[in-house]
Each structure stands twice: as C-alpha cells, then as structure tokens.
Structure 1
C-alpha cells in the first residue's frame, strides 16, 4: 500500500463537502461548463507519486478534483513519507500530550497611509501540511465557521480560478482569483481578490501582490513556515537549537514537529478611501478579517487532531 492512503484519510474522508449541482462532469472527467465556479478545477495539481497507473486512472473517474489524491505543492521537493508520519504522530499523541496553540499575535503599524501587519503564531501541525492549507485552492473548507455556514457549506474564503504562470523547480508563480465573504452588522457581501503568488515548495515560503483588489491601492505580503520541535524538552531533555535529524534521533522518532508561522501583510486603501474616518474603518475591518481567517485555520487543525487517530499501519 502506498503512502497516500493514511494521508488521504486526513484530506479526503474528513474534509469533503457536498458539491453543488452545477459542478457536473463529462464522461471524460472534464468540466462540462466554463462557469466561474468551475474554472479553478484547471489546477495547479501534483499527483501523489506513489500512485500506480491503475490507481491514477481510477482517480480520474472521480467527480471532483477535491476527491482526487493530489497536492497543491510539489511532492518532489519535500519528504512525503515524513509528512504522513508526522500527521499520524500528531493525531495519535494529541490526547496523551496535548499541544495548545495560542491565538495569532498581530502587530499593526501605519505609516504614510500604508498599514503593515506583522503576524506570528504557532500551530500543532507539520510545516508542509500548514503550507498546503495556505496554498491549496480546492475550497476544501479550512476557512469555515463551525455552524455559521453549516446549512449551505459556504466558506469565508473561496478560490474562483487559478493559473500557473511559471514553474522553475520548487518555485511556482500562480495567478489566483479569490472571493472573501463578509458579514458586518447584519449586512453581508463578497470581496473579490486577484493576486499573483510566488511560492517555493521546498522552502515553504511565498510572497504575493495584487493584480486587482477592490478598494485597495496596495495589497501584498508574504508567509513562511519553520519547524517547531514541540517535544524537544520532554524527549530530548534539551533546550538548545538542534537539527531535524538530531531531533528525530534523540526523540526516537516520536518527536512531533509543529509550525512557527511568520506573516507580513501590507495594504493601503485607494486614494478616495484613505482619509479618516473611512481609512480607520477599512483598516479595522481588514485587521479583523485577517485574525478571523487565521483563527479558522487554528480551529480546523484542532478539530482534525481531536477527531481521528491514524494507526501506524493504516
């Protein structure tokens, strides 16, 4: 059995959502329409490298890309076996040795009308898995308010379309169209976001800048994930800085690796809106929704760790 089945139980069996009737497929597995709702199905995707030709052919018969054994980041540039092993460790060890992530720390600085958000947080989940959550455009439901959209399964942040502009080894430049759903004081609507994202699948880093973002003159930023050896003090009896290889050796392979996430988000409202009190309102809303989306990710990971235990042989 390949390495994907255990990982697919994390991705496929527990985060699939009801599909809308309009997402119909032809017999060849291609989209039967070119509606905005379906354009994101074009990619970018990377097949699980352990799939046999038969398994790949069977996967092509599935009715939706969210059900296929694919990744948003290229598995050539990281150890997929180790990622699956770490996911299993987090799920099996969570009750015995719980790890509590604090809410994100957001520092705000405004200078000459430009707002800088510097964000730091930790997550009890492997860096590559967190990175996959940040980059995966399949609308799997990471940014989902538990209960708020329960009846119609609508997420706060959806991807409408993606297009790979450049692929150079682990580097991938992608054009992405997203929509952010908002609700304020009883009013709700959508906020379109059109970005160019420059990813490095090996370094688990990315930068982004706007193509077009409604009401924004500047909209750009970056993120990176670094390993956090959460069991080092307990299993290795050491607080000094060590490498991944040393950590695996001194912990007997039982040490979980979490993520230290560092983000920077820079934005500036368009000229007509970049004056008080409108600028204050827009900055306040942007900061609020940034925190809400990060909290969605945090709650999602907590839910995953508490809902399933994957045995080593699964």
Structure 2
C-alpha cells in the first residue's frame, strides 16, 4: 500500500506510513464489507431473545422487557416474591402478637392490631409465588399444585427485645393460629352449648355464646347470654347454665364469667364452677338452685333463697328494657 502523502510503499496491513507517519485506513472491498455486515447481524440475532409476553427483542440477560415492562426472568420473579412474602408474614406476626398483648390493656387497640395482622396474613397467601404464564405459551396449572405452592408454610423468627439472642419461631401465618383458636372455642365450648339448647323446646330462641376470654385466654371462660324470647323464664335460663356446668365439670378453669350481650355481670372461680356442675349431676337441686347465687360476686343479700335467685337473674339480664323474661317468671 502506498502512502497518499509521500507515496512511500508500506505493508498491506500497515496502520500508519513508516516514512511520514500518516494514519492509513484499510478500505475493504465492497463485497468484503457486505459479508462483515451480514456476520454482525447474525451475531446480534444470536445474542437477542424474544419476550414471551409481547414478542419484542430483548437481551438474554434482561430482567424486564423494555417494550411491555413485564418481568421475564422467572428466577428473579421467584426471589422477589419470596422476599415480599417473608416481610408481609413477619409484619403480620408482629401485629398479631402486639394485638394479643394489647387486649389485656386496651381492647380496641388490640382488636384493630389483630385484624390488621390477619389481613396481612391473607395478603401473604394472595402474593403469587410463580410467575404468570405468558399468553403465547399458556400452560394449565392444576388447582392442587397451585394451592400447595400458595399455602407453603415458612418459619418466621421474631426477636425478643428484652432477651438477647432469643427469638420466637412460628411456622405459618397468624391466620392459621386464628383458625386453630376459633376451632378450640367452637368444639370445646360452643358445641356443648349448642347441644344443650337443642335438648328442650323451652330453650328455643335462646342464643348463648361460650368462648375463652378474648378467644385466646384458655383459663377464663365467658358464658355470654345474647338473646332471650318471651317464652324463657329464669328457671329455663338457669337450667341451661347448669347443664353447661355439668358438661364441663371435669375441666379446670381459673374463672367463669357470666355476661349479657357482651357485658360482664358476674364472675365465679373455676373450683366453684366445677363444684356446681358436680352437685347438679348428683341432683343436689338445693345447692344448684339456692346456693348458686351466693357463689358469685357481689353477694346477693335477700330474705329468702328464691328471692336471691330471682334477684341474681335481674342483675344478670333483667335490667334490659327489651327483656321481660324475669317479669314473666315472677308472675
């Protein structure tokens, strides 16, 4: 190759003139340039991928499609979903445990905190684990496999501020804990009450709710009288509670509360409640009917046992202007 400046002869592949130092450009033949362009296009075709959602050309290492903004990296999608689900589950447990503690001090805050924890627990199961199937290659997923993936249980460690290197470890979500607690209240307390109310027509229309205190304190039982009709007399209400005590006479509780429409009226210690059930099972009606009001606080002071029993029922539910049951029993 000759230098256009000094006309000196240089090597064919020389990049500069050896005499004057002028930079030399190797101009390839037109045919050779076209071949190189084709090779570059083929190489670029091998280095690109197709978006499974919109069909656009993307990089093989792309996380999102630059055309439709969908996540195309399945492994990245799974890792992101796992991180998000772990954070939501951790937050739900913190709110749930805080709510259980707050119930003992200020009930509205505890209820709101527990509700927020359960909502986050539901959101945890709603976050998809697997990336969505593309419209072009839509695979049918069996419902059972989908449920197993979504209901996957994971361990959650919550540190204790007062104790170093100590953590509470939970498996699953607060929703599972709430379902277990509800099942315990239903089968251990509410079902015996339902069986009692079905025994006699005298209990028809009466509604009673029996559950642990705040549904989570197993040592305290709340017997909540919710609805009465005009057909029930104090003896009917009294008998229903005695049957309840009879069914649970072998259980050990710290306290039993008698409530009316959610308002606690009387409390009896667990030992006296068990004694009441045993005496009623022995058909000791004197103890069950007349000594019964004196087991509660405040003590009813009246002239006769019958009046003490009726006064007890007045204080339990007879002060409600919508309830005339006690008056019916006195006629």
By relative contact order (CA 8 Å, sep 6+), the higher-ranking structure is: 1
**Larger fraction in strand:** 1
TM-score under structure 1 length normalisation? 0.24
Using the size of structure 2 for normalisation, the TM-score is 0.23
